[in-house]
Structure 1
Amino acid sequence: MMLKPIRSLELRLTLLVTGCAAMVLCGVAFMTYLGINQILIAQQDRALIERIERLEILLQDSSNIEQIIARPKLYQNMLGNQDNLFLLIQGDQALISINPLGIPLPEFTHQPQIQFQDLSAHAYPTRIAWKTIQINRQPYLLIAGKQWSERLGIIAPFQKSLVIYVFTGILAIFILCAIASHLGLKVLRTLREQTHAINIQQLEQRLNLPYPPQEIAQLASDINAMLDRIELGYSQLNRFSEDIAHEFRTPLNNLIGQTEILLMSERSPVQYQEVLISNLEDYQRLKRMIDSMLFLARADAQKVCLNRQKIQLQSFIENIFSIFEYQAEEQHCNFVLKLEATELLADPEQLQQALYNLLSNALIHGGKRRTIYVHSYRKIINKLPMIALSVVTSGLEIAPEHLPHIFERFYQCSSSRQSYHQTGGLGLSIVASIMTLHQGMYQAINSAEGICFELLFPDT
């Protein structure tokens, strides 16, 4: 059975900090225990060293050694406790053997320096020290020992107290961390409450936290920025919906009105034909708008597949010019083509659509007697090589406040919709989507020559 993950951030922080503190406390307690144990062992070793040194000084006098050998009980009484051990060995003979508990001894090597060893296999664990001394130029093995009972009597209660202190400390840390987490995360609860209060009717509301930590302040700032984008997108969506309704309503009203008038009385075949021709224009307008919106929807969903090819710009753009030849003659407009970059990697169909929309837009909004320039050149944008295509309409400018929004769907610089009959207000939006599909950039700027629509393609 799998354990469910802990969802509460407050509990997670409490457990995480408590766990880290518990590891630190256990580590400190363990090091303290080892330190105390080493101190007690060092004290015991010093006592054994002092005992061996005193006995060595005492045994250096030949009369003393004879008295101790003759009366070992005397020295045993001097040692006192039964946990003490003392042996004096010459060769294979134990001259003095004080071992009241019968501790089994290992084989000893003759060493001029004091050596230590723990005897833990016996029921009475003992620490011994031994040293080889010279008496009357004869080697004697001097052995002294002391049981662990005294050291264990000190360390055992300390160990129990240490365990109690550690568990008490962990519990106290858990409680303090729980309180600190609850107080520290209050700003998150405030953030949640304010976020929960925002709905579709209150998109203008923003998060306002009193003295938030830096991380929470950054999060609140990011959420506010997201709300700005949502509010902007929602307002654009509302405007888009209104514009769609308006654009659809105009041709539909025309169709309904003309049909109603046609049905009011008998008409001649010529009149029927005229009405049908008029209706056909409205049908074509509706179809263009629907096709444009379908393309934008597919482009937004990244469902448009590009067929990138090397395009020779000279012949490609001249073919597009030929489409507008008669319209340009009627408006007394002319095209000027200047190509510094002659090739471009792009989808031919999409590039044709983008240039078609820009040239159509230039003719519709430029009016009569304009020169429309189409240039290609190379640029470096953010250290990336780009190929730029620009369409400039001479003597025409757009107010600066409209430039950032000119590529938005159904955006209009004026309240008049008379010019929408050609593109349905979606021509520049389609250009923007085509450039996004090509991972390029686009912009509209007022230049010295006139309004310039610049398309930037990656030069790969």
Structure 2
Amino acid sequence: MFASSIRFRLNFWFAFMQVVISVAASVYLLCLDNSNRMQDLDASLERRLTPLHFAARDSLALENNTPSSWQVPPNVNIDAVTSRRDFLQRALLGRGSELFSKQWVNEGVYFVIWSASKQILAASPNLPESIPLPVAQGENGPINLRTIGGNREAFQFTAAQDIVLVGQSMQAMEAEHQAYVMQIMGFVLCVFVIGLLASRKIIYNAITPLEAIAKSAAQMSLGNIQGRLKAPNPADEVGQLVNTLNSTFSRIDEAFAQQNRFVADAAHELRTPLAVMLSETQAVLNRPRSNQEYVVSLNRILDAIQKLRKLSESLLTLAQLDAEQYRQTPESFDLGLLIDECIGEICRLAETKNVTIHNRVEPITVLGDPDQLCQVFTNLLSNAIEYGTPNSEVHLWVSRSADSAKPALGIHVSNTGETISHEEQKHLFERFYRVDKSRSRAGSHAGLGLAICQRIVNEHNGIISVQSENGLTVFTVWLPEPLATGHSP
């Protein structure tokens, strides 16, 4: 249970990252400290090796009786020197020697000088036992460094293959390094504890609002979809999440309400033709009737069946559009010929209303689904005829939009009749919405045609709009520029 908690995982990963970073930083600092201490020790040994090298050189000059190449130390009486070994003992270890002092002994520094024959010419009293001889590096070789038995040593070969070595115990350096290690560990531990406490506080402040949101959302999921979440700070990320969730809940609430209205309207629309069919069937079966009465009843039942069929087809089309199963089959076609076909399908309706249709759509080649667009224009023409004034005219024409924010090609369908108010225009493309409910219920329209038209036009990346003023109503289908490919030849 704890492993699945975001709070636990955040605390765990924060602590883990703190440990990794602390260990990495500690290792780096300790390695850097050890390297710096070793460099300082090596530099100190090299400085102390240089005068010993000169002393070995001077002792050889004395032995070869070449006084011009050496200098006599102040504490050495040259007349009392009997040999090279005696010179080195006086120069390095005698009273008043500036090369080797008690400070060297206190610091654990020792030295030794071997002759070319591997005999010890001079050595400090604290020289460790069994020091291995360095390997020859050639005449006047560079200063070499090595670590043996807890001691750090620097050695160099002279031109005469004498070996000069100076070393120092590393115990003091290691003790200082261990003290530094303890300081680093204490500091890292303090930082880790403070960071862990701070992270727990930060994570608590970050997770607590999310837990409150989860509880509120759980209560809303039980049926209280109208409720809304409260954000402690609307400006931070949690507040933005709450605003997004509230917007989502609002859309879900509206979708549920729309679905309920849709189901209620669909049930009501289905009930009317079913009631007609039931009443006519009961009337026919109630008593024997004449053939003419049977024909009248059957025609009424047929009209109800036609209305049911049209309503079911519209509902199926909307369901396919909602499920994105109403796929387009785009192809190039002549828009003018398509409009002519649509007019041919509703010409009988126009004749019954004595409405004249004026088609001024010029031949234009467009790219789209001709069947779907034909359904759009047929529906618009049917509405223009049925809801227009009898003995009136319906006009169709094409225009080009100069507004870059609007699709380029506009196909307009206009009729004269009752003006549609601005408030009604806002709901005109909603499902089952009808401006004149009494006339619509008596006719064959269920209020789904314009909703289907809008979805089809949207699928073509277009816009459908309506304007109605002073008895003139104009529906316009705007198609984007890629669909309008120019005039057909």
Query: Does the TM-score normalized on the shorter chain lie above 0.5?
Result: yes
Instruction: Tell me the residue number matched to 1:95.
Output: 121
Corresponding residue to 1:154 among 172, 176, 180: 176
Instruction: Tell me the residue number matched to 1:30.
Output: 27
Q: 1:281 to 1:448 in 2, by over 3 A?
A: closer
Instruction: Tell me the residue number matched to 1:188.
Output: 210
Aligned-partner Cα distance in 1 for 2:429–2:187: 71
Deviations 1:304-324 (A, max 9, x none): 233322221222212322333
Deviations 1:121-164 (A, max 9, x none): x4x13222346789xxx896542111222212222343355346
Q: 1:226 to 1:161 in 2, by over 3 A?
A: same
Q: Which amino acid aligns with 1:295?
A: T
Corresponding residue to 1:294 among 310, 316, 321: 316
Q: 1:248 to 1:200 in 2, by over 3 A?
A: farther
SS of corresponding position for 1:402: helix
Tell me if the contact between 1:332 and 1:370 (Cα under 8 Å) persists in the aligned partners: yes
Aligned-partner Cα distance in 1 for 2:472–2:145: 101
Q: After superposition, where does 1:125-136 map in structure 2 within 5 Å?
A: 125-130=150-155
Aligned-partner Cα distance in 2 for 1:319–1:342: 15
Matched, 1:413 2:432: no
Matched, 1:393 2:418: no
Aligned-partner Cα distance in 1 for 2:188–2:177: 16
Q: 1:390 to 1:22 in 2, by over 3 A?
A: farther
Instruction: Tell me the residue number matched to 2:251.
Output: 229
Tell me if the contact between 1:126 and 1:148 (Cα under 8 Å) persists in the aligned partners: yes
Question: CA-atom RMSD, angstroms?
Answer: 3.5
With 32-41 and 245-254 compared, the bigger mean Cα shift is at 32-41
Tell me if the contact between 1:331 and 1:369 (Cα under 8 Å) persists in the aligned partners: yes
Q: Which amino acid aligns with 1:44?
A: L
SS of corresponding position for 1:310: strand
Greater relative CO, 1 or 2 (CA 8 Å, sep 6+): 1
Q: 1:39 to 1:319 in 2, by over 3 A?
A: closer
**1:349 Cα deviation after fit:** 2.1
Instruction: Tell me the residue number matched to 1:427.
Output: 449
With 231-240 and 165-174 compared, the bigger mean Cα shift is at 165-174
Q: After superposition, where does 1:8-407 map in structure 2 within 5 Å?
A: 8-49=5-46, 51-52=48-49, 60-61=71-72, 63=76, 67=86, 69-70=88-89, 78=102, 79-80=104-105, 84-92=109-117, 94-98=120-124, 99-107=127-135, 109=137, 115-119=143-147, 122=148, 124-130=149-155, 142-159=164-181, 162-163=184-185, 165-167=187-189, 169-199=191-221, 201-212=223-234, 214-339=236-361, 342-379=364-401, 386-394=408-416, 397-407=419-429
Aligned-partner Cα distance in 2 for 1:398–1:258: 36
Q: Which amino acid aligns with 1:102?
A: S
Residues matched between the structures, number: 451
With 423-432 and 42-51 compared, the bigger mean Cα shift is at 42-51
**1:242 Cα deviation after fit:** 1.5
Tell me if the contact between 1:410 and 1:426 (Cα under 8 Å) persists in the aligned partners: yes
**1:112 Cα deviation after fit:** 7.5
Tell me if the contact between 1:111 and 1:131 (Cα under 8 Å) persists in the aligned partners: no
Aligned-partner Cα distance in 1 for 2:436–2:222: 29
Aligned-partner Cα distance in 1 for 2:410–2:303: 36
**1:359 Cα deviation after fit:** 0.6
Tell me if the contact between 1:341 and 1:387 (Cα under 8 Å) persists in the aligned partners: no
Tell me if the contact between 1:392 and 1:449 (Cα under 8 Å) persists in the aligned partners: no
**1:189 Cα deviation after fit:** 1.6
Tell me if the contact between 2:407 and 2:478 (Cα under 8 Å) persists in the aligned partners: no
Q: Which amino acid aligns with 1:162?
A: I
Deviations 1:314-355 (A, max 9, x none): 222123223333432443422222335612222222222111
Aligned-partner Cα distance in 2 for 1:111–1:48: 20
Aligned-partner Cα distance in 1 for 2:302–2:197: 79
SS of corresponding position for 2:167: strand
Tell me if the contact between 1:203 and 1:231 (Cα under 8 Å) persists in the aligned partners: yes
Q: 1:20 to 1:227 in 2, by over 3 A?
A: same
Q: 1:389 to 1:52 in 2, by over 3 A?
A: same
**1:448 Cα deviation after fit:** 8.6
Aligned-partner Cα distance in 2 for 1:37–1:212: 52
SS of corresponding position for 1:184: helix
Aligned-partner Cα distance in 1 for 2:155–2:469: 103
Larger Rg: 2
Tell me if the contact between 1:358 and 1:391 (Cα under 8 Å) persists in the aligned partners: yes
Q: 1:146 to 1:90 in 2, by over 3 A?
A: same
**1:167 Cα deviation after fit:** 5.0
Deviations 1:274-331 (A, max 9, x none): 1111111111111111111112112221222333222212222123223333432443
Tell me if the contact between 1:69 and 1:96 (Cα under 8 Å) persists in the aligned partners: yes
Tell me if the contact between 1:82 and 1:100 (Cα under 8 Å) persists in the aligned partners: no
